[in-house]
């Protein structure tokens, strides 16, 4: 197992959640200076049931988008942990994880909101999708934005990876990336 893979598995286990992200359809949107992409590889515009289960999370963002965020393309590593399927990239100033879980719902997370594993739990929708933002570390180095998609949830995980340069607010960055990919997600219930 690579060092990145070990870090990802440790993060997912710490979060104790089935991380989740899925994309379907191609939306064009520009978020905070990130170029809009059309025809994102791996998109499935059908919105049919099963779209979330079969979507390739490793292609939801273009190489251009990933590089703009400061992520290194050569660090991409697939991850399948605790029912979640997705990919992780290292970069500066943070690590980004995108995953999907067709069996975990926002309501399921809300039922566990008082769990001691969450140091912060906030309801935070993305566009018209139900969502939550969670943290599991008191140091504030990582944050996850979850949102409803298809039959389950999508997760955007941002964790600080560098002390160089200006500090990153992982929750703000996770929300920004979630807003960027939201138009590409399958409709809730599909």
What span, in angstroms and rounded, lies between the C-alpha atoms of 25 and 158?
Answer: 24
User: What per-residue string of b and e applies to 14-52 under the rule 16 or more CB within 10 Å gives b?
Assistant: ebebbbbbbbbbebeeebeebeebeebeebbeeeeeebb
Q: What is the pLDDT of residue 11?
A: 44
Cite the DSSP H helix spans in 51-105.
51-54, 63-68
- Give the pLDDT confidence score for residue 73 in this predicted structure: 96
Q: Is the pLDDT confidence value at 120 over 80?
A: yes
The pLDDT assigned to 50 comes to 55
Higher-confidence position of 157 and 81: 157
The more confidently predicted of residues 83 and 168 is 168
pLDDT at 99 over 50: yes
pLDDT at 186: 84
Name the residue with higher pLDDT: 161 or 61.
61
Higher-pLDDT residue of 11 and 14 is 11
What was the pLDDT predicted at 83?
76
């Amino acid at each position: 197992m690579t060092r990145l893979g070990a870090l990802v598995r440790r993060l997912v286990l710490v979060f104790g959640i089935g991380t989740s992200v899925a994309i379907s359809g191609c939306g064009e949107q520009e978020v905070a200076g990130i170029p809009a992409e059309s025809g994102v590889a791996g998109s499935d515009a059908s919105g049919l049931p099963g779209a979330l289960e079969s979507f390739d999370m490793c292609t939801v963002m273009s190489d251009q988008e990933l590089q703009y965020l400061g992520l290194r393309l050569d660090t991409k590593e697939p991850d399948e942990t605790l029912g979640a399927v997705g990919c992780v990239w290292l970069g500066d100033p943070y690590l980004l994880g995108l995953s999907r879980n067709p069996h975990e719902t926002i309501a399921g997370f809300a039922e566990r909101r008082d769990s001691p594993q969450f140091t912060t739990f906030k309801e935070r929708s993305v566009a018209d999708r139900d969502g939550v933002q969670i943290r599991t570390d008191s140091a504030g180095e990582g944050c996850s934005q979850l949102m409803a998609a298809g039959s389950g949830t999508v997760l955007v995980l941002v964790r600080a990876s560098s002390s160089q340069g200006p500090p990153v607010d992982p929750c703000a960055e996770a929300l920004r990336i979630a807003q960027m990919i939201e138009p590409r997600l399958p409709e809730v219930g599909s």
